[in-house]
Amino acid sequence: MQEIGGSGDNSWKILWKLKVPPKIKVFWWQVLNEFIPAKDILNRRHIEPVGFCEWCGSQRETIKHIFMDCTTARGFWRETKALTGVKLPSLHPLTWASDIFQDEVCSERDRCVIIIGMYALWTQRNRKDHGEQQLPLQKAVQWAVDMAHDFWQTTKQAMQRTIGFSKPTWRTPPTSCMKCNVDGVFDPRTGQGATGAVLRNHSGSFVSGRARWYPYGLDSLALEALACKDGVLLAAERGVQRLQVETDS
C-alpha cells in the first residue's frame, strides 16, 4: 500500500480496482504523481507569477488546498456529508493522496465518493481559472453547495455503471493455459492514457501484473488495443505458451 505514490506495478493495481469512471482513474494517477498544476507548484517552477488561491486568498494554492482546505472545498465536503453520509477523514498533509487507499482510513465506497468529489472540485476550479468573472467567496461557497448536489446525482449513476461493469464473474482458463485481463483508459482532455494487465494461471492465482502510462494517446479504443498488446507482451516475457486475453470492452 505504501507504494501507491510511486510508478510501480503496485500503485496501478490498487488504482485499477477503484470503482470509478476511467477518466477519474487517470486523474487520480496525476494527483498521486503530483502532475496536477496547482498554482503553488507552478509558482515554484516559475511558471505562475503568484502562488496564492484566488478564491479564499490563502497564501499557497497547493493540491491539498484545492481539494480540502479551501473555503469552497470545506463547503463542498460539508454538503457532501449531509447528502451522502461520507465524511472527509482528517489526513496527513504529505501522504494524504495515498492514505486514502488504506482501509483503516476509509471504506471503499467513501474512497470512491471522495475521489470523484475531488475530480469535481478540480474541474470546477479550472472552469473558474479560464473564466473572467471571479466569484465573491460567499457566492463560491454557495456554488460549492450546488455542485455537491449535482455531483451526488452524477456520482450515483457513475458508480452504478462502473460497479455494473466490473461485476462479470471471472472464469478460469483451461489447465494448459494462462489468462490475461487487460484494460485501457483514456482521458480525452489531456490526451493521456494508461494500460493495465493482470496475468493469472489456470487456478486463478496472480502471476504477474503491469501498468504502462501513455503520455500521448489517440482515443480510448487505441488504448484498449495497446492494453491487449501489453498483456500479450507481459505473457511472452513470462514464457507463457498458451494465453487467453480478456478485455471488458
| Residues in touch with Zn ion (CB under 5 A) | 53, 55-56, 58, 70
**DSSP summary character for residue 67:** I
Nearest approach, Cβ of residue 229 and Zn ion (Å): 43
Nearest approach, Cβ of residue 15 and Zn ion (Å): 27
Cell numbers given for 8: 510501480
Query: 58 or 220, CB closer to Zn ion?
Result: 58
User: CB 49: neighbour CB atoms within 10 A?
Assistant: 8
Nearest approach, Cβ of residue 71 and Zn ion (Å): 6
Query: 53 or 114, CB closer to Zn ion?
Result: 53
Query: 121 or 235, CB closer to Zn ion?
Result: 121
d(CA 60, CA 71): 13
Nearest approach, Cβ of residue 57 and Zn ion (Å): 7
Burial of 59-75, coded b for 16+ CB within 10 Å and e otherwise, reads ebbbbbbbbbbbbbbeb
Query: 43 or 201, CB closer to Zn ion?
Result: 43
d(CA 217, CA 76): 33
> Which amino acid makes up residue 121?
L
Query: 53 or 63, CB closer to Zn ion?
Result: 53
Nearest approach, Cβ of residue 163 and Zn ion (Å): 33
Phi, then psi, of 212 in degrees rounded to 5: -130, 140
Please, are residues 58 and 40 in contact by the beta-carbon 8 Å criterion? no
Cell numbers given for 68: 480540502
